[in-house]
Amino acid sequence: MAASSSSSSSIKPIFTTRSKSSNSSKSSLLSFLHNTNPKPISLKFSSHNSNYTTPPSFTIRNSLQTALETSELPVSKFQDDLNLQAVTPKPTILVSEKLGEAGLAILRSFGNVECLYDLSPEALCEKISQCDALIVRSGTKVTRSVFEAANGKLKVVGRAGVGIDNVDLQAATEFGCLVVNAPIANTVAAAEHGIALLASMARNVSQADASIKAGKWLRSKYVGVSLVGKTLAVMGFGKVGSEVARRAKGLGMNVIAHDPYAPADKARAVGVELVSFDQALATADFISLHMPLNPTTSKIFNDETFAKMKKGVRIVNVARGGVIDEEALVRALDSGVVAQAALDVFTEEPPAKDSKLVQHENVTVTPHLGASTKEAQEGVAIEIAEAVVGALRGELSATAINAPMVPSELRSLAGWLCSWYPEGVALSL
């Protein structure tokens, strides 16, 4: 038995044992674990007719060491038909939506990358059991069924962007799967799109453009409103909201913000006053939405809250469609409480072709373009690729959204330890 440096295309054995001597097998493996530079390891375990390869991780390394050091089980379990290898297989990374080339290059340098776009939910569930990581944008629904179908193999879901409302976080956590996102790279792009919608809505740019292309010249119909001196309420003073606030100040707007969790000094530094939800609604000429979609914010803009707004208010939404009750918004537009709306996001995407909201003449729409600049796409691709590779390496992730209750490695570890010790293995976490 000896440490081995031989390699194959996908598996690089760093330790192999086929010893007939149980004591030497166990002690050599322990000395191997003690003396090699610590790095995540996988274990390929072959016994009788079964083969099993665990995912690479420090947990496995540490758990194996502890199991060997503390086991009081007969050493005979380590001999004869045991073929134990420490291996570093390349992880498989499934990319289910388009990702920038710079990000793909980072992923390819680390693992086997499969780009399969437009998978049906069934096809995703079928594929996922072969994947260590999955990278999505906002179009792939990563449901509980996906985590169930992964069978413990899936260790990381990377969301190329910010909103993680398309990932079932509860299920991910239960199944020991880490979820990471890319929160930084598209912030400026989303803020710029918010400002673009704000200005084009105020000056009827999209309506005027459509009318002139239809052969009309309607100068008096499309008289707009000015931004300077108007009050803008930024709802959600996080990364995007604060960048929108900064830019709106530059346009000469009076900016207030509502965010139950934002520190007042952060707002003060940008020259923005933090106000209550009702105060924001009652004061604002323009309202720009930048909060996450969650159970608290779902349909937070509804008949009741539209009624609290200043008549003739104009609303921009580049956050998530679900924060607005869309039928209530149509009613508010029809009654004139809301003069105009500019929407980049919808409850259902794409929205129905005959959606009253989308077709409303006072509504400007874009197809979820907030993060769609060349610079942001490349930046997000790099950010998420680095986060996923780091997570697969077992590093602490700065953009982790959850803390898995049971690491998937331990679930796997339990599987192969049980095959060694049919009497049963207790793992305490």
Ligand X SMILES: NC(=O)c1ccc[n+]([C@@H]2O[C@H](COP(=O)([O-])OP(=O)(O)OC[C@H]3O[C@@H](n4cnc5c(N)ncnc54)[C@H](O)[C@@H]3O)[C@@H](O)[C@H]2O)c1
Give yes or no for residue 198 binding ligand X (CB under 6 A): no
Our CB check for ligand X shows the closer of 7 and 296 to be 296
Our CB check for ligand X shows the closer of 202 and 371 to be 371
Count, residues in the chain: 429
Contact 95/104 with Cβ under 8 angstroms? yes
Measured from the CB of residue 317, what is the shortest distance to ligand X in angstroms? 8
Measured from the CB of residue 97, what is the shortest distance to ligand X in angstroms? 13
Beta strand pairing status for 133-136 and 338-343?
unpaired
Our answer to whether residue 368 is catalytic in this structure is yes
Our answer to whether residue 320 is catalytic in this structure is yes
Contacting ligand X within 228-267 (CB under 6 A) = 235-241, 258-262
Contacting ligand X within 156-185 (CB under 6 A) = 162-163, 183
Q: What share of the chain is helix, strand, coil (3-state, %, to 5)?
A: 40, 20, 45
Contact 225/286 with Cβ under 8 angstroms? no
Measured from the CB of residue 273, what is the shortest distance to ligand X in angstroms? 15
Contact 377/100 with Cβ under 8 angstroms? yes
Question: What character string, x for contact with ligand X (CB under 6 A) and - otherwise, covers 300-319?
Answer: ------------------xx
Number of residues that bind ligand X (CB under 6 A): 32
| SS3 of residue 287 by DSSP | strand
Our CB check for ligand X shows the closer of 155 and 290 to be 290
CB under 8 Å, gap of 24 or more: what pairs does 32-36 form?
32/3, 32/86, 33/61, 33/64, 33/65, 33/68, 34/65, 36/3
Give yes or no for residue 285 binding ligand X (CB under 6 A): no
Q: What angle do CA 418, 4, 18 make, to 5 degrees?
A: 45
Among the options 159, 258, 320, 360, which is catalytic? 320
Give yes or no for residue 292 binding ligand X (CB under 6 A): yes
For 33, the enclosing helix (H) or strand (E) is helix 22-35
Measured from the CB of residue 377, what is the shortest distance to ligand X in angstroms? 11
> CA separation (Å) from 190 to 8, 13, 52, 341?
46, 46, 45, 17
Measured from the CB of residue 190, what is the shortest distance to ligand X in angstroms? 4
Residues of the shown chain interacting with ligand X in the complex, contacts defined by CB under 6 A: 162-163, 183, 186-187, 190, 235-241, 258-262, 290-293, 296-297, 318-320, 344-345, 368, 370-371
- Active site (catalytic) residues: 320, 349, 368
